[in-house]
Structure 1
C-alpha cells in the first residue's frame, strides 16, 4: 500500500509553517514534504520531526530568485558556482533532517536554459549526494501552471536520466502535471515506473484533493501498488476548503495515509 506524505507548502497553510508538522501528524500522515526549508534553521525543523515522529520525505534544492520569476537554475549556464553552493546547502539540510530525496528544478527556457548545463549540473549534484545516500530527482512540470519550464514531458526526463547515467538520479512523477501536459497517467506509471523515486498527486483541473472525478485515483493507487513501488506519494494538492475537511479522499480511494 502506498504511503502518503503531506506537502506542508500546500496543506495546513492556515497555520505557521512549524505548526503544520503537528497538524499533519494528528491528521494521520506519517511523512511530510515541502518546497523549500531554507528560511527556517534546519535544527528547528528537526525538532518538529522528532516531536511528531514524522519522516522527512522530500524537499527542493534552492530555486534561485523565486520572487523574481526564477524556477530553478540547474539548466542555466554561467551559474555553476551558485548551483554547487545550492547543492551543498541542500545536502546539509538533508543530513540534519534525515531526508533522502531532493528535487532539482531545471529553470525556464527564456532564461537561457541549455541541455549541456543541465546534464553537467545534475552529474555534480548526483555525485555529491551519493555518499550521503541521497537521490536527486527531476520532475516534468506542466506549462499551464509553470509557463516556459524547460522540462515538461516524461520522455524528456527519461532521456536526461539516461544521459546523466547516475544511479541516484531518478524521476519525480507528479500525476497532475502528467495529466495536464500529456494525459495517459496510467500508461506513464506502467512505462516509467522503474525510474520513479517519488510520486505526487492532485486532481485536475484545479489541483484539488485526489479523488475519482477526472482521474480515478482509487485505480491509480492500486496500479502504483501493483508495480511494487515502496516509496512515498506526496500530497501536493490545493485543498478546496480547509485541509482537514478535505481528508475524506483516502477512504473514498481505498487507501490510508499511513
Structure 2
C-alpha cells in the first residue's frame, strides 16, 4: 500500500518545503497539507519536483476564529468563493490533485443551500484545472456545530451537486467516532470516495493503538482495489520520526 504524510500535523514544525523533504526521507509516497498559502508555491513545487512526491490536496481557508470554514455560511458567500478561488489557484501552481472545501460551523436549510451553491461554484472552477473537490464530515466531539457531520449527509450533498469532480473525503478517525462500522462503510461508499485518511481513535495519534485495528482496515481498503496513497492525518505525540513504526510495519 501507499501512504501520504499530512503535513498539517506531521513535521508541522518545519517549513512546508522542508516537511516535504522529510516525508520523502521517511518513506512516504505522497504528501498533503492543510493551509499552505503563506508559503511561496514555487518553493513547494520545487520540493515536490526534488522528491518526486505528489501533493494530494489542501484545504480552503478556515476564515475567522470560530468559523472553521466558510462555504456553508450564508453571510460569507463572497469570502467563501474568494477562498475557493485562492485554493484553486494555489493547487494549480503546485499541481495538487484535490481541494477540501471546508463548510464551517452552521446549520439549517440556508446553510445547506449555501454549501451546495458554493460547491457547484468550486466544481466548475476546479474542472478546468482537472482538480477534484472533496467534502469531509467532521466529528461532533472535535468540531461541535460543524455543518457536515455524517457520510449520509455528505453523499446526499454530492448527489445534489451532481458534478463529476466532487468526492467524499473518508477520514476513518471522524467516521469511526460518528458512525463506526468502518469496513462496511468503506465498501458501501467506495464509489464516492476521493481520498482516505486515518488516525488512531480516540486520541488521533499514530495508528498503532486504540479501538481501530488498522492492519485490518488497510486490508479492507486494499481488497476494495483502492490504489491511491492513504493519508496519515494524525497528531504525533512529540517528534514525528519516533511515531513511524506503523509505516515501517506496513511496508
Whether TM exceeds 0.5 here: the answer is: yes
SS at match of 1:59: strand
Partner SS, residue 174 of structure 2 = helix
How far the C-alpha of 1:250 sits from its partner, in A, is 2.6
* Deviation sequence 1:182-233 (CA, Å, 0-9, x none): 1111121011111000000000111011125411111101111111112221
1:101 equivalent in alignment to 2:94: no
Q: Which whole-Å deviations, capped at 9, do the CAs of 1:48-76 have from their partners, x for residues lacking one?
A: 112222111111012212xx121111111
Q: Where do 4+ consecutive residues of structure 1 move more than 4 Å?
A: 110-113
What is the DSSP-based 3-state SS (H/G/I as helix, E as strand, rest coil) of the residue aligned with 1:210?
A: coil
**Residues 1:54 and 2:60 aligned together:** no
CA contact (8 A) 1:108 1:148 kept: yes
Cα distance change, pair 36–112 in 1 and its aligned pair in 2 (3 A): farther
Q: Which structure 2 residues correspond to residues 18-167 of structure 1 after superposition, within 5 A?
A: 18-65=17-64, 68-109=65-106, 114-167=111-164
Q: Which runs of 5+ in 2 are unaligned?
A: none
Structure 1 residues 80 and 228, CA, compared in 2 at 3 Å: closer, same or farther?
Answer: same
CA displacement 1:65-123 (0-9 Å, x = unmatched): 2xx12111111113222222222211111111111100001010279961111111101
- Which residue does the alignment assign to 1:13? 12
> Partners of 1:233 and 1:162 in 2: how far apart?
24
Gaps of 5+ in 1: none
User: What residue in structure 1 maps to residue 197 of structure 2?
Assistant: 200
Judge conservation of contact 2:136–2:148 (CA < 8 Å) in 1: yes
Kindly tell me: are residues 110 and 52 of structure 1, through their superposed partners in 2, closer, same or farther at Cα, counting changes over 3 Å?
Answer: same
Partner of 1:244: 241
- Give the structure-1-normalised TM-score: 0.92
Q: Aligned pair count?
A: 251
Q: Does the 8 Å CA contact 2:70/2:77 hold for their aligned counterparts?
A: no
Mapped contact 1:202–1:236 kept (Cα < 8 A):
yes
Tell which has more relative contact order, 1 or 2 (C-alpha 8 A, sep 6+): 1
Q: Which moved more, 1:118-127 or 1:80-89?
A: 80-89
Pick which of 153-162 and 56-65 moved more. Answer: 56-65
Residues 23-70 of structure 1: CA distance to partner in whole angstroms, max 9, x if unpaired? 1110001211110011112112112112222111111012212xx121
Query: Which whole-Å CA distance do the structure 2 matches of 1:106 and 1:62 have between them?
Result: 10
